[in-house]
């Protein structure tokens, strides 16, 4: 959490410096939106995929690399490393690379709902989709996890 707060502060400082150098406000606003949105895409993604798979994708620090784990309804478990390769701030399209399958996931990011929706993957059967809920590490819909006192 401290790292993410520091990252946000650095982004805002950098943008203030850009404004002082005379970059147009439209360019500045787009840069701010892209950087802060990427920084706010959470640490922990709860993913529901097609064909009986569900999983968690955990971001490595503030990088665009995720350690992913899936479990199938038949009990099979799989792990992999994913990379967030692009984000289109105009339409919310997110592209995530899964090198081990030589493929990619695509979805639409909804920042207010902190979700990814209408997801597809290059190896899915036609019409199959995935979605994700984005959280900060240690949080769920009930809020932050509290430490245990002894």
Model pLDDT, residue 134: 93
Domains of the chain with bracketed CATH: 2-38 (no CATH), 42-137 (2.40.128)
Model pLDDT, residue 132: 97
Q: Is 119 exposed, middle or buried (0-12, 13-18, 19+ CB in 10 A)?
A: buried
Model pLDDT, residue 114: 92
**What is d(CA 92, CA 17) in angstroms, rounded to the nearest whole number?**
26
Confidence of residue 36 (pLDDT cuts 50, 70, 90): low
Q: Where is pLDDT greater, at 15 or 145?
A: 145
User: Could you read off the pLDDT of 38-81 as tens digits, one per residue?
Assistant: 667 889 999 999 999 999 999 998 889 999 999 999 999 999 99
Does pTM surpass 0.85? Answer: no
Q: Is the pLDDT at 86 greater than 80, yes or no?
A: yes
Q: Is 90 exposed, middle or buried (0-12, 13-18, 19+ CB in 10 A)?
A: exposed
8 Å CB contact between 99 and 111: no
**What is d(CA 76, CA 67) in angstroms, rounded to the nearest whole number?**
17
Model pLDDT, residue 90: 86
Q: What mean pLDDT comes out for the span 9-15?
A: 43
Model pLDDT, residue 6: 44
Tell me the chain's radius of gyration from C-alpha atoms: 17
Model pLDDT, residue 111: 87
Model pLDDT, residue 45: 96
């Amino acid at each position: 959490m401290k790292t993410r707060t520091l990252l946000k502060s650095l982004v805002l400082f950098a943008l203030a410096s850009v404004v002082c150098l005379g970059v147009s406000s439209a360019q500045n606003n787009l840069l701010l939106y892209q950087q802060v949105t990427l920084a706010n895409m959470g640490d922990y993604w709860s993913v529901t995929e097609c064909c009986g798979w569900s999983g968690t994708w955990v971001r490595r620090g503030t990088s665009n690399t995720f350690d992913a784990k899936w479990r199938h309804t038949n009990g099979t478990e799989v792990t992999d490393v994913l990379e967030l390769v692009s984000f289109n701030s105009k339409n919310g399209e997110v592209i995530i690379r899964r090198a081990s399958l030589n493929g990619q996931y695509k979805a639409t990011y909804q920042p207010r709902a902190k979700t990814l929706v209408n997801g597809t993957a290059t190896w899915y059967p036609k019409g199959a989709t995935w979605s994700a809920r984005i959280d900060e590490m240690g949080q769920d819909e009930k809020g932050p996890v509290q430490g245990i006192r002894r």
